[in-house]
Amino acid sequence: MQSPGYWPRLQKTRISRRALIKGAGIAAAGAAGTALVACGGEGEEGVPATRTAVPEGTPQPGGTMRIGLPSDPVGLDPQLSVTSYWVGSRIHGYLFMVSLKDQSMLMELAESFEQPDETTYVWKVRPGIKFQNIDPTWGREVTAEDVVYSMERRRDEPTSQNDKQLLREFTAGFEATDKYTFRFRTNRPYSPTLDEVGNPSYAIVPREAVEKWGNLHLNAAGCGGYILKEFVKAERVEMVRNPDFFMSGRPYLDGMEFLVIPDQSSLLEAFKTKRLDYNGATLDKIKVDDLRGIEGIVVVEAPNFWNPTLLLKVDRPPFNDIRVRKALDLALDRQDLIDRMFFGDAKLNGPIVWSLEYYALPQEELRDFYKYDPQEAKQLLGAAGYEDGLDVETTIENVVYMSQIATVVKEHFARVGVRCNLKPQELGVYLAQTLYPGNFEMTWFYNLPYVEPDRPLCQYFSKGQAGITFSGYDNPKMDEWIWKERSEFDREKRRQIIFDAQRAMLLEHGPQINTSTPRGYAAFWEWVKGVDVGIGAWGWLGLDTWMTKRT
């Protein structure tokens, strides 16, 4: 708990240019390695982790695992679509991925990595790795030129929904210095580089596949553990084992089948009746308690990085007035929201979701800051000229729980005279017509489940996320905080900077007003083995998952 007067004192703090001078030295690329999908080993400090251990028990090859999906993946191209990761990532290969547990590097196609200075990154691609032996790649070798092509495509393709800011604005260049060496250079020290390049949108894709199909939404050829067999939109995706995958013996499964079941109750019922091996429905405490009573179902707690937030358009009235924004913050009864939405099974979020524990503000500090005070909220609205309250059109990303969260908070705001007209929109319409163009007054949406600290802070960055300032927020002071953490390579020093940056951001009471995130749960039948939900969906490529006989 902070000392009395902590927040008022912090509000008066100013950052000098001298304080922004970067500390010297480069830290190791993450802590000792952890497993990727229940498989890994500890390495020396700073040495990227590789797959060295084996999953629980003795893996048994064979079987097709059935997984439920609550929504259509839309496409399978991880470079272009933010909805394709859950499925399409299993087809493709990556230089490396980043552990959700500790942000350490988990080597994939790369066999080694070095960072000779603060702006240069070098990976060696493993010789002999092949693209899948199907049309149009026919088993040709993966080289560093494929990494270059993939970077260029991700940067230049106009239809991509992914953030291209690193590649377009902060990158000095990248090249293949020989057949197996890929060198990447930033134009200034940028510590989130590994977190960024290690996310699932940086898939290594073959040029000939893109030239043949135009994109990889409905067709795909990669170098991952699974080969696409069939994709029926809004119905199912079937994959079979890649027999030429470079990790000998993996994947263990013969295949994976993803079934699209949009109705949450039907999706859960399909799992409970053994039509699915792995649950795809969103679980809360009540559902988890029910599943734990069913013999043969395994329920485990899992990281949950989804962050439901309220985003305000702050470059115009009424939310360009900090008094109005603070009034909303004070009118939001976060404990009531946790109790009603998540049965008390959730924690508070600052700008960074609580599940990213190393960089998230402590819960006691957030509880000390987030005060529910409708009386002060009314006074602030009156002082801002809204004695009779105000009417606000509130668009909603219509996904699981979001409309329900918005309905509860609508009640909170009504108590202080803020009347919300809720307008749910389907995801595609919402992204294209509301969020990306900044066409809203107030909007409820999920911050994507980022597993590194820089991207969530970008709501407060003048260039925004993906180079788009959704809210119109532009504050040089916040830009200084963000560049200060980006320029620090020492992990612990960077952590302290990120703590202080979040404290300064909270005092802005926008553009993002944070709420809470429930605990995460995963459920699967006892015959599913080798699943490490501690790594999370980004790293869950299905390579180490295996099954015993279904019962």
Same domain, yes or no, for 239 and 342?
Answer: no
Do 289 and 371 lie in one domain? The reply is no
- Give the tens place of pLDDT for each residue, 536-550: 433 456 788 999 999
CA angle 362, 44, 451 (to 5 degrees): 35
Same domain, 108 and 231: yes
Q: How many CB atoms lie within 10 A of CB 363?
A: 13
Residues of the chain where predicted confidence (pLDDT) is lower than 50: 1-55, 536-539
Q: Are 174 and 185 in contact (CB under 8 A)?
A: yes
Both 292 and 315 in one domain: the answer is no
Q: Which two tokens stand for residue 383?
A: 């002082």
Containing structural domain, residue 257: 64-302+520-547
Let me know if 238 is exposed, middle or buried by CB neighbors in 10 A (0-12, 13-18, 19+): middle
324 and 465 in a single domain? The answer is: yes
CB 508 within 8 A of CB 478: yes
Instruction: Please give the tally of structural domains in the chain.
Output: 2
Q: Where are the alpha helices (DSSP H) in 273-356?
A: 285-291, 322-331, 334-342
Tell me which residue has tokens 């099974």: 345
Crossing angle (nearest 10°) for helices 491-506 and 476-486: 160
Residue 89 lies in a domain: yes
At residue 197, the pLDDT reads 93
Tell me: do 223 and 277 sit in the same domain: yes
The domain that holds 397 is classified in CATH as 3.10.105.10
- Specify the DSSP class assigned to residue 21: P
pLDDT of residue 5: 38
Residue 23 resides in a domain: no
- Residue 287: enclosing H or E segment and its boundaries? helix 285-291
pLDDT reported for residue 28: 25
- How many other C-beta atoms lie within 10 A of the C-beta of residue 52? 12
**Per the domain annotation, does 109 fall within a domain?**
yes
Give the separation between CA 317 and CA 286, rounded to whole angstroms.
Answer: 41
- Looking at the structure, do residues 528 and 494 belong to the same domain, yes or no? no
Cα gap 303→200, rounded to integer Å: 17
Considering the domain architecture, whether residues 139 and 151 belong to the same structural domain is answered as yes
131-162: string of b/e by CB count within 10 Å (b at 16+)?
bbeeebbeeeebbbebbbbbbebbbeeeebbb
Residue of 13, 28, 80, 123 whose CA lies nearest to 494: 28
Which of helix, strand or coil describes residue 264? Answer: helix
| pLDDT at position 21 | 26
243 shares a domain with 354: no
Domain membership flag for residue 11: no
Cα 29 from Cα 94, distance rounded (Å)? 17
3-state secondary structure of 462: coil
State residue 371's pLDDT score.
96
CATH code at position 81: 3.40.190.10
Helix (H, G, I), strand (E, B) or coil at 149: helix
